[in-house]
């Protein structure tokens, strides 16, 4: 997900999306520990997407 797409989301929608992505990330990690993923780079991409979303959410909190 690109930063421009993240900025278009509403604040409450962004918070929900963060929770969903974190749950997905945790599940992906557990699956990877049991049997290796086909593309382990997905873990890194998911972690970075979560960080981007949290950054935008924090910027909105500070700008209020």
* Residue 38 clears pLDDT 90, i.e. is over it: yes
For the stretch 40-50, pLDDT in tens is: 999 999 999 99
Model pLDDT, residue 52: 97
Contact between residue 36 and residue 51 where contact means Cβ atoms under 8 Å apart: no
Confidence of residue 64 (pLDDT cuts 50, 70, 90): confident
* Residue 5 clears pLDDT 90, i.e. is over it: yes
Domain assignments of the chain as residue spans, ordered by start: 3-63
Model pLDDT, residue 22: 98
pLDDT mean across residues, the chain: 95
The correct answer on CATH 1.10.287 for the domain covering 3-63 is yes
In 10 A of CB 49, how many CB atoms?
19
């Amino acid at each position: 997900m690109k930063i421009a797409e993240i900025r278009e989301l509403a604040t409450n929608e962004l918070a929900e999306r963060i929770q969903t992505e974190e749950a997905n990330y945790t599940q992906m990690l557990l699956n990877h520990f049991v049997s290796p993923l086909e593309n382990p780079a997905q873990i890194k991409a998911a972690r970075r997407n979560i960080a981007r979303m949290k950054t935008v959410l924090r910027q909105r909190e500070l700008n209020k």
